[in-house]
Amino acid sequence: MTITAELVTPGFTLPEWHADLQARVRDFADSVVAPAAYEYDTKRELPYEIIAEMGEMGLFGLPFPVEYGGQGRDYFALCLAVEQLARVDQSIAVTLEAGVGLGAMPIFRRGTEEQKQQWLPMLAGGTALAGFGLTEADAGSDAAGTKTVAELRDGQWVINGTKQFITNSGSKITRLVTITAVTGESTRADGSIKKELTAILVPVPTPGFVQLPAYDKVGWHTSDTHPLTLTDVRVPEANILGERGRGFANFIQTLDEGRVAFAALCTGAAQGCLEESIRYAKSRNVFGKNIGANQYIAFKIARMQARVHSARLAYYDAAFKIVNGQSFKMEASIAKMLGSEAAMDNARDATQIFGGYGFMNESPVARHYRDSKILEIGEGTTEVQLAVIARSLGFDAL
């Protein structure tokens, strides 16, 4: 990956380019994304014109080399952009985070040169989206539960199965979904069966590949999320992504990296609740004074600030390790766990501070309250993060 000459330092002072990007995306979020958030949340539609503007700004191509249509920057730049968008609209932020981390990044990391040339320019330009189909009814963290199968017949993979909860899989600009499938089995020494999982690129549209109606979700109403069915889907043998049999292992590595950007999203959500609470506490007057003059409210907001600060430091640290080529698996899980808990706790406190107004859907904190719960579930639950951290400390937690 191309990395900028100036990287964020352990002291977390942003280099000029990163600071400029942060300010530019923050302005875009406040002036373009925020005013449209309630409308599209109500309509449950992905705002394609906003996605197009994000593509023109180069946000989908931030961590990719220029030769593949990217901006030639680093993964930390992506995290900064995701954080600023999540302050005002988590759905838009996760569209970017998943589009890059789960859609394009696996191709960049493990694709052939031909696959990179074919797919990355459109994904990095934001003119197309891609999803990653791992989760099934009985499979996700438990790879052994995967039931989708792919058989090699006459130079083609023939795929049959179902996937669920797949982000960016059914939008008008979705052009690719990478799926994991069982491509073989072997018998272990103890007699148990080991499934061979392989990642395969499925262009959209492809006969037999069906995006079922979008989910009726509690939150993230603007984000595109669908269940998928694959019935005798045929793609060329060359559509394998990475090595045969390494599909799940490679995805776990991708997920480790993705958790850092996801932690940035969580931090942005927590920051958005903090900013709204500060504004409201200083403007809402009760009994002749603003409610922020009450110690209880002021202290609640102080705790919100502490959570944001801790979450941001955690994901900055993990991102620093990524761009410097250091091990970051444990730090990614710490950042994801701290960030998701900060977002959920801040959303709860912000709703309490707003009172009745916080229960109205047009209120940004109401959307954060609905949206934030998935942050403790998606891209690895809190319990999974604890297991990763425990294993990093030498405990066999799973």
Q: 205: domain CATH number?
A: 2.40.110.10
Give the integer Cα–Cα distance in Å for 236 and 120: 19
Whether residue 11 lies inside any domain: the answer is no
Specify whether 209 is located in the same domain as 324: no
- Domain with 270 in it: 249-392
To the query of whether residue 376 is one of the catalytic residues in this protein, the response is no
**What pLDDT, on a 0 to 100 scale, did the predictor assign at position 78?**
98
| Set 136, 196, 379, 383: catalytic member | 379
Over residues 154-162, mean pLDDT: 97
Q: Which of 229, 246, 263 is the last residue of a domain?
A: 246
- Ranking 46-55, 119-128, 378-387 by mean pLDDT, the lowest is 378-387
In whole numbers, what is the pLDDT of the chain averaged over residues?
93
Secondary structure (DSSP) of 176-228: EEEEEEEEEEEE-TTS-EEEEEEEEEEESS-TTEEEPPPP--SS-TTS-EEEE
Q: Which of 224, 246, 268 is the last residue of a domain?
A: 246
- pLDDT at 141 > cutoff 80: no
Over residues 10-23, mean pLDDT: 84
Specify whether 259 is located in the same domain as 334: yes
Whether residue 308 lies inside any domain: the answer is yes
Over residues 387-393, mean pLDDT: 94
Tell me how many domains the chain contains.
3
89-98 pLDDT, tens digit per residue, is: 999 999 999 9
**What pLDDT, on a 0 to 100 scale, did the predictor assign at position 188?**
77
- Nearest CA to 85 out of 268, 260, 286 is that of 268
Over residues 357-374, mean pLDDT: 96
199-246 pLDDT, tens digit per residue, is: 999 999 999 999 999 999 999 999 999 999 999 999 999 999 999 999
Specify whether 77 is located in the same domain as 161: no
Q: Which of 129, 146, 168 is the last residue of a domain?
A: 129
Whether residue 398 lies inside any domain: the answer is no
Whether residue 3 lies inside any domain: the answer is no
**What pLDDT, on a 0 to 100 scale, did the predictor assign at position 3?**
37
Give me the helices (H) in the chain, please: 16-28, 34-43, 48-56, 75-86, 90-98, 105-110, 113-124, 247-283, 295-323, 329-354, 364-372, 382-392
Specify whether 120 is located in the same domain as 213: no
